[in-house]
Amino acid sequence: MVSDLISDADCVRRIQRGEKDAFEILVRRHEKTIFNLVYRMLGDYDDAAEVSQEAFLSAYRAIGRFRGDANFSTWLYRIALNHATTRRRSLNSRHHRTTQLEETELLHDGQPGPAESLEKKEMRQRVQLALNQLEPEDATVILLRDMQDIPYDEVARILKVPIGTVKSRLHRARQALKSLLAGYFYAGRKAI
């Protein structure tokens, strides 16, 4: 597609010149990544759809001030994570999110379940539940590094912290996640 040949920076320049339709290219290019990040941060499909949409609209409103010092994706990640963190803090009822998780996983999972083992599905739900129980900063760094596979330096730019902070925060976050899931892992290892 022609739109694939246009870089994010070009799209941003076009939007800043008044070609508002260029924003659609950016939305289509980043919607899945942003939606997944927000979804895993919140664990609720509808909340994720709403917050992702707000994140894109915030980016659109602020795009006039985007100077191109960072990648557009870095900037967009930052906006989306800010929105998701704010929403996550406002959602105090984790039980509510857990219930929603079970339904949405079955409905919207990319690989529907008939052929999938019940064990794997259950594990995914438990991982999501554990992510929900982490501090938002810990969940953020795990999702950026482990789920999105973003390098340390880029994570540091997204979070606006030094690389050393990213490493120490990631270590702490993985330890916390391991503590929440350890029972399953050790049980599996012993079974093996």
Contact positions vs another protein (CB under 8 A): 20-21, 23-24, 27-28, 31-32, 35-36, 39-40, 45, 48-49, 52-53, 56-57, 60-61, 64-65, 104, 108-111, 120, 123-124, 127-128, 131, 142-143, 145-147, 149, 152, 167, 170-171, 174-175, 177-178, 181-182, 185-186, 188-189
Other CB atoms within 10 A of residue 6 CB: 16
Cα 59 from chain centroid (whole Å):
16
Q: For residues 91 and 47, is the Cβ–Cβ distance under 8 A?
A: yes
36/92 with CB nearer another protein: 36
Measured from the CB atom, is 10 or 116 closer to another protein? 116
One-letter identity of residue 35: F
The distance of closest approach from Cβ of residue 42 to another protein in the complex, given in angstroms and rounded to an integer, is: 11
72: Cβ–Cβ under 8 A, 6 or more apart, which residues? 8, 9, 11, 12, 26, 66
| CB 1, min distance to another protein, A | 14
Kindly tell me which of 57 and 91 has the beta carbon lying closer to another protein. Answer: 57
Q: How far apart are CA 15 and CA 63, in angstroms?
A: 8
Work out how close the CB of 36 gets to another protein at its nearest, in angstroms, rounded to a whole number: 5
Closest distance of CB 5 from another protein, Å:
19
Question: Which tokens sit at 75?
Answer: 């900037």
Residue 112 CB neighbours (<10 A):
10
